[in-house]
Structure 1
Amino acid sequence: KSGRPELVNLRDGSSVGSVDVVFPVLHGTFGEDGTVQGLLKLAGVPFVGAGVLGSAVGMDKDVMKRLLREANLPTARFRVLHRGESRHISFQELAQELDTPLFIKPANLGSSVGIHKVASASQFRAAVEDAFRYDTKIIVEEFIPGREIECSILGNEEPIASLPGEIVPHHDFYSYEAKYLDEHGAELKIPAELPEPLVARVQELAVRTFKTLCCEGMARVDLFLTEDERLFVNELNTIPGFTRISMYPKLWEVSGVAYSELIDRLVQLALERHAREQKLKTSFEL
């Protein structure tokens, strides 16, 4: 009756209520890989964050890194291994190409699940076997020594960047254990202690990454900063942590955007995008 989409109980077909906008807070497979986003788009429901394409690209580290490389944005050197071909690739071959240590990562997963840092052939084989438990293709990536810098992005066609923050892991790297199981696993520096020219470089690279990967609404861009002040894009998260103590909203808070205002802006961006897309033609008419 209202013309707005409605949630329906699949068991009996009863209406649960109308929907103005959906704010996805689902991480990982199906939640931020474009699946839920495609369902919402098909249903005509406005939603916060990246669309189908941006979400899918943001989840797939292989595709993400190839697009970054195509756009001449700095990212770590890497190789992709598919299930079945990995037995023909040796640790020595990859170590010669990418140096050591190496990082082994499932191509489509988050929260550092299945990620290993390896420095020997035996570690490599065990890490590859574990990573293939989570995906049919994996990334073998060079190690970039340096600081872990994060930057929050907000916007659609004209995105803006927050002040950068820094993760200081107390483990060998920012692993799943450091993120979720050890309350002292890492220290967050908000904002990061960086000179203004370097802050500007981080923000520019983060915005360019956001645009290159077809993102909308929000994302957090994770970067490495080397001792000689080179920047490398590590990855982009289309649905970053959003609790009051998470890096994404905390970075906006120190940048002058309060938590409640941030949510309001994201909802407005979702509604604006939906309204714009509703005006587009999706079929040929004479």
Structure 2
Amino acid sequence: MKRVLLLYGGRSSEHEVSCLSARSVLAVIDRSRYEVVPVGITREGRWTLTDGVIESAAGRPLPEVADAGPTVALVGGKDGARLIQVDEDGESARVVGRIDVAFPVLHGPWGEDGTVQGLLATVGVPYVGADVTASSIGIDKGAMKAAFAARGLPQGPYATVHRRRWDADPELVAATLEDRLPYPWFVKPARQGSSIGIGRVGERHELGAALVEAYGYDDVAIVEQGFAAPRELEVGVLGNEDIAVTAPGEIRPSHDFYDFEAKYLVESELVVPAEVADDVAERIDHLAREAYRAIGCRGMARVDFFLTEDAQLLVNEINTIPGFTPNSMFPRLWDAEGVRYPELVDRLLDLALATDA
């Protein structure tokens, strides 16, 4: 029986979302094939062995990793990686067990950005999802968009704004953006997910507050041109060399745009499969494969699109660790293809075990 290290929580602002995703994975993973070792990463970055019961604390809407369990660490050995438990005195440790494969269900910085992937690769543990390079490109919207542009993929107009540029001359930055992008704009942290830190800008005087919000999560912000009532379409991708793509699904946000609350607190409408013309579905399939290959992805991803009122199909972004919560599009898309949640988790672990760490 293979032993799976399930990593969740983490230091990012998407900590609670990661806990929700991990809870869903724990509920369906095949215990006849895998022994699961759930390890939560606290907000401060401590790895702690948990019992796998992920619940919300009293008075809180979303769960988080409790800072009560024993500290553990992953170390490389002569015959494979081991998870060890470190005693509180820091002077002794015991082996919890060998780790055969890891499933990082971590969203955002310090988990989805190549950092954890690099650690796992260093000690020789195969892991679910993209490698270090693809993870670091996928989390960084500026690098991701550059990779898409190099591949010739259609995208909406955007600009990158570093904090130091804004601090040095905000009037010049605003004027430059107005020359390049018609209003409205969406301002986002470059390396953040779950729609955290996003602001909508309809006039120049709103830009400063939106950038301040984005800079609370990253020193680089992406300013994207908004579109009037675009349809938001998404597909799931699975595979290493050979890849499969789902039919598209559509998100109909409960808010003006698909912000954090619309994703996790106030249920939005997910239409699976989306009602699109055959030629649009074929184009989405092709572009999703190209986006996947553009960053060198493996394992899995969710690729997001905008379909504008004038029928432009634009690649919005790729997510290398898509959400696995009950409200997440990725498992719903695969369920519509006949791949139930337990089988989806099995496939991901099989893909991980088929790769070099």
TM norm structure 1: 0.91
SS at match of 2:103: coil
Q: Deviations over 1:19-53 (max 9, x none)?
A: 12111111111010001000000010010000101
Which residue is equivalent to 1:263? 345
Give the paired residue count: 273
C-alpha deviation, 1:245, in angstroms: 4.1
What is the identity, as a one-letter code, of the residue corresponding to 1:6?
Answer: R
Residue 246 of structure 1, aligned match among 316, 319, 328: 328
Match of 2:39 in 1: none
Residue equivalent to 2:287: 205
The correspondence of residues 1-286 of structure 1 with structure 2, limited to 5 A, is 3-11=79-87, 12-87=92-167, 88=169, 89-145=172-228, 146-183=230-267, 186-274=268-356
Query: Cα RMSD between the aligned structures?
Result: 1.6
- Amino acid of the residue matched to residue 224 of structure 1? F
Aligned residue type for 1:202 = I
> What per-residue deviation string (whole Å, max 9, x for no partner) do you get for residues 72-121 of structure 1?
10111111111121142343431231100011111011111111110112
Quick one: distance in 2 between partners of 1:116 and 1:206?
A: 26
Tell me which amino acid in the other structure corresponds to 1:272: A
Q: In structure 1, how many angstroms separate the alpha carbons of the residues matched to 2:103 and 2:206?
A: 40
SS in structure 1 at match of 2:355: helix
CA distance in 2 between counterparts of 1:203 and 1:244 reads 24
Q: Deviations over 1:223-263 (max 9, x none)?
A: 10122332111111111111344211110111121212211
Native 8 Å contact 1:244 1:259 kept in 2? no
Aligned partner letter, 1:20: D
Structure with more relative contact order (C-alpha pairs < 8 Å, separation 6 or more) = 1
- Tell me which residue corresponds to 2:19: none
CA deviations over 1:117-156 (Å, ceiling 9, x no partner): 1011221111111111111111111113310000000000
Structure with more of its chain in strand, by fraction: 2
- The two structures have a TM-score, normalised by structure 2, of 0.73
Q: Aligned partners of 2:219, 2:328: CA distance in 1, in Å?
A: 31
The question of whether the paired residues in 1 share the 8 Å contact of 2:151 and 2:290 is answered with no
Partner of 1:160, secondary structure, is: strand
User: Which sections of structure 1, spanning at least 5 residues, go unmatched?
Assistant: 278-286
In structure 2, distance between residues paired with 1:116 and 1:9: 43
Which sections of structure 2, spanning at least 5 residues, go unmatched?
1-76
Partner of 1:282: none
Indicate conservation of the 8 Å contact 1:98/1:142, yes or no: yes
Name the aligned partner's letter for residue 85 of structure 2: N
Task: For residue 214 of structure 1, report the CA deviation from its aligned partner.
Answer: 1.2
SS at match of 1:85: helix
Looking at structure 1, the residues matched to 346 and 237 of structure 2 have their Cα atoms a distance apart, in angstroms, of: 15
Cα deviation code 1:50-73 (max 9, x no counterpart): 010111001000000011111110
C-alpha contact (below 8 Å) 1:95/1:102 kept by paired residues: no
Q: Work out the CA distance in 2 between the residues paired with 1:243 and 1:107.
A: 23
CA distance in 1, matches of 2:207, 2:265: 24
**Does structure 1 conserve the Cα–Cα contact (< 8 Å) formed by 2:128 and 2:299?**
yes
On the 8 A contact 2:263/2:327 being kept in 1, the answer is: no
